[in-house]
């Protein structure tokens, strides 16, 4: 197969774009997809201070690599979840990547913050992933605001977004559908959140890492087994195989036509939250979710 752009031998085939690329042209393709996402959705500008949620996996590292190449003002924040089977590997990759690329990296350790995920899993009888997600969102947001970052960027890719969209549609969750998208503006004590990789698939970010020589962590979290998102991703992979381009078209269709039907349906949006009585974090209750988790942990 020849490269669609320069006619050299292609090394990546992208049926969803009806194209194939050699290494340099794939890097250009990837960069243009990120630039288009930033421009079309007005995610941020060169004046913004951007903190990237750096898990150490391929998506967050590919995002940091690309935004640095484009000249944005970035730093990374890694949250060490204290999961023995996966956290040291993830952290090591984040640290080595940032050292090699000269990117400032901040690390928060849940162990030191009294919230190690394995302990939470033992003590609290609720799905650990929803608690883990809540804690990560809390600390990413808090860290960004406390340190004057104007944007929090995450490495969510097209597959993540399509799986989330399908899950929200499947449950007809109007509030979540109203809030889903690559840009969540800053309001009421929450920093602006962006997903600049929303046009790129997992396969494409993996290729970016391979071509750019980015060594990413791949030790799976022991609690990830059986997650419904993983199942939805395999469903959509099958669909994509039969009908190339369907993931991007499903998601773009939602952004262009579906999203506005649901916007404003999240009753918590627009309602001014009040500060948590314990930590000051914005919440619709008296104490925020993370303080309640901490309380549950203390009560055993």
> Does 279 contact Zn ion by CB under 5 A?
yes
> Residue 248, exposed/middle/buried by CB under 10 A (0-12, 13-18, 19+)?
buried
> Does 133 contact ligand SF4 by CB under 6 A?
yes
* β 151-153/49-53 pair status: parallel
Q: Tokens for 136?
A: 């990560």
> Does 163 contact ligand SF4 by CB under 6 A?
no
Q: Which of residues 73-102 bind ligand SF4 (CB under 6 A)?
A: 81
Residue 250, binding choice from ligand SF4, Zn ion, none, Cβ under 5 to 8 Å by partner class: none
Q: Which of 124, 278, 296, 297 binds Zn ion (CB under 5 A)?
A: 278
> Does 54 contact ligand SF4 by CB under 6 A?
no
Nearer Cβ to ligand SF4, position 53 or 200? 53
Residue 163, binding choice from Zn ion, ligand SF4, none, Cβ under 5 to 8 Å by partner class: none
Question: DSSP letter at 184?
Answer: E
Q: Which of 61, 64, 98, 288 binds Zn ion (CB under 5 A)?
A: 288
> Does 110 contact Zn ion by CB under 5 A?
no
Nearer Cβ to Zn ion, position 16 or 55? 16
From the CB of residue 195, how many other CB atoms can be counted at a distance below 10 Å? 23
| Side-chain half-sphere CA neighbours of 219 within 13 A | 12
* β 12-14/49-53 pair status: unpaired
Question: DSSP letter at 263?
Answer: T
> Does 82 contact Zn ion by CB under 5 A?
no
Give CA torsion, residues 229, 230, 232, 234, to 10 deg.
Answer: 160
Residue 134, binding choice from Zn ion, ligand SF4, none, Cβ under 5 to 8 Å by partner class: none
* β 12-14/19-21 pair status: antiparallel
User: Do residues 196 and 207 make contact, with C-beta atoms less than 8 angstroms apart?
Assistant: no
Catalog residues that contact ligand SF4 under the rule CB under 6 A: 81, 117, 128-129, 132-133, 221, 223-224
Catalog residues that contact Zn ion under the rule CB under 5 A: 3, 5-6, 8, 22, 25, 276, 278-279, 281, 288, 291
């Amino acid at each position: 197969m020849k490269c669609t752009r320069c006619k050299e031998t292609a090394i990546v085939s992208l049926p969803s774009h009806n194209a194939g690329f050699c290494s340099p042209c794939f890097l250009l393709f990837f960069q243009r997809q990120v630039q288009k996402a930033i421009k079309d959705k007005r995610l941020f500008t060169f004046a913004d201070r951007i903190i990237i949620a750096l898990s150490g996996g391929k998506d967050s590292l590919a995002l940091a690599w690309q935004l640095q190449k484009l000249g944005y003002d970035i730093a990374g924040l890694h949250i060490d979840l204290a999961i023995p089977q996966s956290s040291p590997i993830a952290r090591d990759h984040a640290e080595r990547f940032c050292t090699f690329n000269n990117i400032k990296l901040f690390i928060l350790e849940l162990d030191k913050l009294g919230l190690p995920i394995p302990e939470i899993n033992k003590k609290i009888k609720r799905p650990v992933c929803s608690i883990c997600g809540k804690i990560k969102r809390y600390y990413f947001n808090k860290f960004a605001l406390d340190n004057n970052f104007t944007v929090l960027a995450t490495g969510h890719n097209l597959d993540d977004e399509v799986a989330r969209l399908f899950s929200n549609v499947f449950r007809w969750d109007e509030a979540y559908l109203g809030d889903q998208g690559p840009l969540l503006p800053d309001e009421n004590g929450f920093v602006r959140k962006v997903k600049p990789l929303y046009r790129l698939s997992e396969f494409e970010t993996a290729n970016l890492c391979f071509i750019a020589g980015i060594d990413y962590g791949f030790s799976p979290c022991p609690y990830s087994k059986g997650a419904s998102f993983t199942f939805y991703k395999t469903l959509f992979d099958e669909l994509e195989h039969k009908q190339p381009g369907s993931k991007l078209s499903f998601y773009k269709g939602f952004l262009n036509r579906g999203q506005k039907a649901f916007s404003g349906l999240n009753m918590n949006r627009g309602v001014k939250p009040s500060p948590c009585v314990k930590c000051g974090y914005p919440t619709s209750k008296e104490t925020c979710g993370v303080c309640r988790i901490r309380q549950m942990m203390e009560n055993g």
